[in-house]
Homo-oligomer: A and B are copies of this chain.
């Protein structure tokens, strides 16, 4: 780079701060100015809900850097409450408004980095000071002040995504009862229904009211309370509403400058993080990046990619050939004691992408079953049927979910196949794992599926099989388990009796086997196959089926 290069950065949070500090470490001589519309740079945006819930008690904990500390450590000129009004690409200048003084002035640049982020979607038509969104520190203080002064008893959280669920937990922690209103048929829309429905049941067990398949029609303030009505009929009376229905790129000023963006306003960038103007870079929640798995462009607004992209933009400006190889969308949520994590693409996305995929479900303990406090998790892995390419995983459980998701995220990044998961040499001691880690087990199961040692069927196939004349539906659990609850139409032969009672089965029919979680079913299928039967195992077993049909049906009865 030329020693006197002048770099302007729009947005001083996450990606912008990351780009600025990397730039300075690479170049002592560059002139670096950050313009931040808000009052704060480099704040802990992912920590905001925990301040509201009281788990984080100090305001100072949320603010990671200040303009003063940035100046001292990095010699970076940070201008807060400064907004970019326009960009003139021909003259390489921006027009800036200083909200502290009202002054408007122009600043030239050699390179410009756009890191404006995304803003929460909040319908304009509803006006009330009891409606909130949460994006930044002032939003957070506003909610906290409302809680402290108005003592609301009840809140509606509109949107059951990551932010919505984090806000739900923290509002409950702060003593506010919550109803989640979600337009989809499950929370966490980036997850598949069969996994997310476990989250639905769990949060209801924690006293959260869940309105699925509900769209807000109107919000009316009346006598200091809020009446929310729905397109589907019915209403809720509440004290406050948090809108957490998603975000969109905060890029209107960019589009006026003729920088290419997609129809949702996400700036289009190359793998060098350059926009359609090569002197202008864009990073973070404002950009559309490549999905590492599908290799298509995607909008994945997460903190991890933002930080990496900031570093890459800085490298590129300093002539270091870093490239962004795409986002996997690795994401994780804690709600109460539950952990939900995913990486790669969902089955829903795989289907929409036209991929020839298969999936498996697996229930595993986080550590040795005989060691105290073992907790179960449900692992879903989606993979390409022919190649075994790992497409994604979704895991719901408690301790140890994060580890398994990160291991699979690493395997996806390394372009390992699903069968390679069986070979991973992971750390084992009873408090941490089992001899065969859940990730190894996933690899074993998938290997058995791909090589044809085990044919499987799924929870959504059951209804059709129940109506067929050409099938035997076989539950191989013990009689006691069977009697406690089973799927209609399934007969019972415990796996340990199967060899002796195999003649009871009609070899001319296909045998569809289930057990509790899938392990005994696998053994039964192997016995049957080697005795000349065409046999299939229910992936995830009765436990998965009942988590979808029994628990969920009950919860719908509300």
Contacts and interface: CB of A to CB of B under 8 A. Distances in A.
Contacts of A308: 422-423, 436, 440
A435 B162 CA distance: 16
Interface stretch (A260-268, A331-339, A354-362): A331-339
A407 B44 CA distance: 25
A427 interface: yes
Given A75-B499, A403-B402, A330 B426 contact: yes
Given A73-B495, A414-B411, A425-B304, A47 B406 contact: no
A489 interface: no
B327 A425 contact: yes
A74 to B, nearest CB: 8
A241 interface: no
A424 B424 CA distance: 17
A430 B495 contact: no
A68 to B, nearest CB: 10
B371 A25 contact: no
B429 A332 contact: yes
A416 interface: yes
A330 B427 contact: yes
A436 B307 contact: yes
A414 B410 contact: yes
Given A47-B371, A47-B430, A303-B435, A406 B409 contact: no
A433 B402 contact: yes
Interface stretch (A54-62, A208-216, A232-240, A345-353): A54-62
Interface in A298-355: 302-308, 311, 320, 325, 327-334, 339, 341, 343
Given A47-B370, A371-B56, A435-B14, A428 B62 contact: no
A432 interface: yes
Nearest to A46: B430
Contacts of A416: 410, 413-414
A28 interface: yes
A123 interface: no
Interface string A271-290: 00000000000000000000
A431 interface: yes
A26 B444 CA distance: 13
Given A55-B372, A73-B523, A402-B403, A428 B46 contact: yes
Contacts of A303: 428, 435
A334 B428 contact: no
A423 B432 CA distance: 26
A247 interface: no
Contacts of A409: 424-427
A106 interface: no
A405 interface: yes
A47 B432 CA distance: 12
Interface string A147-179: 000000000000000100010000000000000
A522 interface: yes
Nearest to A329: B425
A451 to B, nearest CB: 8
Interface string A507-543: 0000000000000001100110011000000000000
Contacts of A25: 453, 522-523, 526
Contacts of A334: 429, 431-432
A547 interface: no
A55 B425 contact: no
A537 to B, nearest CB: 12
A29 interface: yes
A424 B413 contact: yes
B405 A406 contact: no
Given A73-B495, A426-B304, A527-B28, A370 B56 contact: yes
A377 to B, nearest CB: 14
Given A25-B523, A432-B332, A531-B28, A427 B406 contact: yes
Contacts of A432: 332, 334, 339, 402
A549 interface: no
Contact of A428 (B74, B302, B424, B453): B302
24 contacts: A27-B530, A28-B499, A28-B530, A44-B368, A46-B430, A55-B372, A56-B370, A73-B523, A292-B425, A303-B435, A304-B426, A308-B436, A332-B429, A332-B432, A402-B433, A406-B407, A406-B426, A406-B427, A406-B437, A410-B411, A411-B414, A413-B416, A413-B420, A414-B420
A-B pairs, top 3 by smallest CB distance, nearest first, are A414-B414, A332-B427, A403-B403
Given A24-B526, A56-B371, A332-B427, 8 more contacts: A46-B368, A47-B371, A62-B370, A330-B428, A331-B428, A403-B403, A409-B427, A413-B425
